[in-house]
Amino acid sequence: MSESVDIKFTDSLRAWLERRPCEVAVWIAYRAAARVLPVWWDGVLSDTLARKRRLTALPVLRSTLISSVAVKSPTDAINAAIVDATRAASTVPVDRAIHAADSAAHAANAAAANNADFAADAADACGLAALAISAKVSWPAVRADVNVVADGEFPDARPLWQEGAGPLAEQWRAIKWQVDQSEGAGDWQFWIAWYDALLEGRPMLADAGRTWEMLEEIALINPEIWGEGPEVVNPVIRGIWELHRLRAEVAALQAEKEMFLAVQASAAHRGHNQPPEGLVDDAPEVARQIIIIWDGLDEARDELERDAPDKGVLCAIAERMLAALNAVVAYCGKVGDRMIMAVAATIGTGGGAALLDHFVINGRLSQFVKDLISFGIGG
């Protein structure tokens, strides 16, 4: 670390942030707001007046998400998020929830373009977060973030709390249970997964680049759609999330396939998508089915990467892959464990084990195909 950082409370944080780039202030501010997000969510779920007014967690969720995106790619949509978060904070009659919402609003203000007071807004976001929970637990987390970025760099993903899920872990578990029991629970699952990823310090899609691309697309949803409330915007968000998850998963499955082919295949003996020998000697039909599956992965990848994938085409690809996969699994069940292990030995230790895992054991490919069908049917 190139400097000694001594952050006490809001004033000293503001002074330190004034000497830093705006994105550093935004990163620290949105993380402080995110730590106390469960306070707001619990407030709108449990407070009687909040329920009567049909308030939801959405404005603060949106504000925090857009602030996080602004660290990487500042966007005009942030200003609309600020309005939503401020309006929500002024109507919820729960003191700690108001502080949590205000924290998110100040974090969004810090991220707004051409904001000369970004340091003050970021410091205020941290101070309000402390009011929403406790200075004893909130400020140490802020100081830890300051020490991480003291050299002007910050990680793509870092746990929100230094140890475990933090002091609101029980509250967060209760919120998730309530959401799961509620009407339209499926359309709130993105937000649950997003916040779990924030807590744990990991990209939602296991790939930071793909995750930021997805979050930016969500942040840039038309403000009018956001304004219609969770019943309208959450299904749109869910569709974006499902598409990006499928893109990430097909890329991972493609990587597995290419590993098989790179290790086991020989250009002199078989084409690019040909399965390993040893599985084909006594079962040429199974070999044909494996080729259908692998060709299907190529086709699915190409279609999914389009700006507007054709869901009918994706369904057709998935149905072909599912039929072929069922044929392979049925063959493995028919020949029994001894023959399967013999095939594995014939293919080779690495390739055989990987092939069997790919088709028979872990169900990852099967789940991808089912998810692809579900996505295609969904629109």
* pLDDT digit string, tens, across residues 60-108: 898 899 888 888 776 666 666 656 655 555 555 555 677 787 788 778 7
Selection from 211, 327, 235, 223 nearest residue 279 by Cα:
327
Outline where the chain has alpha helix (H).
Answer: 10-17, 22-35, 37-46, 48-52, 58-72, 77-89, 95-111, 118-132, 135-148, 169-181, 189-200, 208-219, 223-227, 230-264, 284-304, 311-347, 349-356, 364-377
Decide if 278 contacts 346 (C-beta within 8 A).
yes
Question: Would you say 189 and 242 are in contact if contact means Cβ atoms under 8 Å apart?
Answer: no
Q: pLDDT tens digits for 238-275?
A: 999 999 999 999 999 888 878 767 766 554 454 555 55
Tokens of 111: 């991220």
Least confident of 222-226, 297-301, 329-333: 329-333
State pTM to two decimals.
Answer: 0.83
Closest CA to 339 of 259, 286, 282: 282
- Asked if residues 225 and 233 have their Cβ atoms less than 8 Å apart, the reply is yes
Angle at 92 between CA 87 and CA 98, to 5 degrees: 80
Map residue 106 onto helix, strand or coil: helix
pLDDT computed for residue 346 by the predictor = 46
Could you give all domains of the chain from N- to C-terminal order, each with its CATH number?
Answer: 10-222 (no CATH), 246-377 (1.20.120)
Low-confidence winner among 137-141, 234-238, 326-330, 352-356 (lowest mean pLDDT):
352-356
Dump pLDDT digits (tens) for 156-197: 778 999 888 889 999 999 999 999 998 889 999 999 999 999
